[in-house]
Structure 1
Amino acid sequence: MHGDDIAQLMYLGLLGAAIAGYFLVSNRDRLGQVAQQAAIWGLIFIGAIAGVGLWSDIRRDVIPRQTVFSEEARVEVPRAPDGHYYLTLQINDTPVRFVVDTGATDVVLTRQDATRVGLDPGELAFFGEARTANGVVQTAPVRLDEVRLGPIEDNGMRAFVNSGEMDDSLLGMAYLNRFERIEFARDRMILSR
């Protein structure tokens, strides 16, 4: 700790002591009730700190995620709370989150995801067009050197980079058709090769 940190800690300690002293003096005729309320607020404060500290663990356990069964070359993907299915693929050893879109023909990367996997959108030729819910956008064809989903690997896969704004990259039928079987059972999508 530096000198400034110690001074701030001492200031906060004195301020806390002054506030606690005021409460004790102003409520001296009902100290039992004040102690009970202080204990309740203390437990609420400790619970809030624990919740913030454990949030990443809670989020990991509550949010559904894909499961890869290597021996069977099968992937199970739970439906997300928003009703979509999301898959995380390793593209050139970089994890990329895709929204599964059975209405899309191709695999389409956002400009940000394209940059993350080693493609420079500034050097791509955006001469293709795609019709989306937001209108017509320009696209650039690319080849993805390596696409992996657990033990399932595809090389030299054709994809496109979208010039428009997209929240997530799209995983269309060009990739999904590489699986022998696609089925939906309850709230899960099951892909088998």
Structure 2
Amino acid sequence: MERFIFFVLIFAVVVGLAAPNGHSSQAQLNQQILVDANASASAASGSADETAMSPAYGGETELQRGPGGHFYTAASINGQSLPFVVDTGATSVALTVDAARAAGIYIDPSSFTVVGTGASGATRGTRVTISHLEVAGRTVDNVDAVVLEGLEINLLGQSVLSRFGSIEMKGDRMMLR
């Protein structure tokens, strides 16, 4: 778990450095990621060779490389659409405090404990289970996740990605199958 937290912290620093400076707030960046992810999903679903995706029938979703060289997508937690960075190196899903609250996951930041150690020292947060998550046409129940203090964007990690048949990267595209 400590290794996971270390990778999350390093990734958060990289994302923070890659995020646009200027007058954009994190909320504005998250909203733009949601808009971009939803536009990509709408465009993909309109293509003639796109297969409808469900756990029973398979299919695929294509993601385009976004700001800072990362792959972004929207996922729905308990019916709430939220922006995510696809993080193949993360063990589990990591949520910001605000995202957890928006999705109806009760957390009390005053009860956060040290859940690992990263480059900046102790990382505080809490482990949670997401009852219902939808991403790329797939529904995943009972997802292990962590809510981290100071995290700026949600990370979609292996607790969800491992439930896909395959993940393939080619240039600026990532295919979820």
TM-score range, shorter chain: 0.5 to 0.7
Does 2:80 align with 1:94? yes
Deviation at 1:64, TM superposition (A): 7.1
Distance 1:64 1:148 in 2: 17
Q: Give TM-score, length-normalised by structure 2.
A: 0.64
Paired residue for 2:163, among 158, 161, 178? 178
Aligned pair partner of 1:167 in 131, 142, 152? 152
CA distance in 2, matches of 1:86, 1:168: 10
Does the alignment pair 1:114 with 2:96?
no
Residue in structure 2 matched with residue 137 of structure 1 by the alignment = 123
Letter matched to residue 176 of structure 2: L
Q: Residues 91 and 169 from structure 1, CA distance in 2 versus in 1: closer, same or farther, beyond 3 angstroms? A: same
Identical residues among aligned pairs (%): 31
The alignment partner of 2:100 has SS state of helix
Partner AA of 1:91 in structure 2: I
Matched ranges for 1:10-29 at <5 A: none
- Structure 1: where are the runs of 5+ without partners? 1-59
TM (normalized to structure 1)? 0.60
Mean alpha-carbon deviation: is it higher for 85-94 or for 130-139? Answer: 130-139
Larger radius of gyration: 1
Deviation per CA, 1:152-186, whole angstroms, max 9, x where unpaired? 101111111112x1220111122111111110012
- Could you say if the C-alpha distance between residues 175 and 116 of structure 1 is closer, same or farther in structure 2, counting changes exceeding 3 Å? same
Cα distance in 2 between the residues matched to 1:185 and 1:104: 20
Residue of structure 1 equivalent to 2:141: 155
C-alpha distance in 1, partners of 2:119/2:89?
11
Q: Which has the higher helix share?
A: 1
Q: Distance in 1 between matches of 2:140 and 2:110?
A: 22
How far residue 102 of structure 1 moved from its aligned partner, in angstroms, is 1.9
The SS at the match of 2:143 is: strand
1:84 equivalent among 70, 79, 85: 70
Unaligned runs of 5+ in 2: 1-34, 46-50
How many residues are paired up? 131
Q: Distance in 2 between matches of 1:179 and 1:120?
A: 28
